[in-house]
Amino acid sequence: MAHITSPLPADKQKIVGEALQGALIDLLDLSLVGKQAHWNLVGRNFRSLHLQLDDIVALARSSADSAAERAVALGVNPDGRAATIARDTRVQQLGYGYVEDAKVIEVFTEILGSMIARMRERIEATDDADLVTQDLLIAVTEELEKHHWMVQAQR
């Protein structure tokens, strides 16, 4: 079966592959938990948060796609299957049922904050391994930090 040759040597490919797979799981689960909150939300700020969560989901989906396509372009197989996400995710989970607006703000402040920390570690890890991947992670992080601020600003 065909496989994709990598422009990177094996050791760098490994580092970059782990960073991208980690980002992929973070972003796919962000899209799932973002929709979960989008649907089960209640409270006075319903409409604003309902729309804002959809902006976050859109960002998460397109960023996940970029990360996964970057991985395969480097000869690394991305893994975004449901069981993999459930097993590996480090994203804080919501409980079942309705969730109030204040709670959403608190939880997503935490989710985005710790995801940004992990992203920054990946940016550092790829500095020697692949500047192109680093660039992609920086662009994603900038957007995550902007949303982090906008969610926080509502506390």
Residues 76 to 115: which contact a second copy by CB under 8 A? 77-83, 85-87, 89, 93-94, 96-98, 100, 113
Q: Which of 18, 62, 118, 154 binds a second copy (CB under 8 A)?
A: 154
Instruction: List binders of a second copy among 43-72 (CB under 8 A).
Output: 43-52, 61, 64-65, 68-72
Total residues contacting a second copy by CB under 8 A comes to 76
Determine contact, residues 95/40, Cβ cutoff 8 Å: no
Q: Return all residues near 21 (Cβ < 8 A) that are at least 6 apart.
A: 71, 76, 78, 79
Alpha carbon distance 102, 42 (integer Å): 9
Here the tokens at position 135 are 């660039």
Q: Does 73 bind a second copy (CB under 8 A)?
A: yes
Q: How far is the CB of 11 from a second copy (least distance, A)?
A: 16
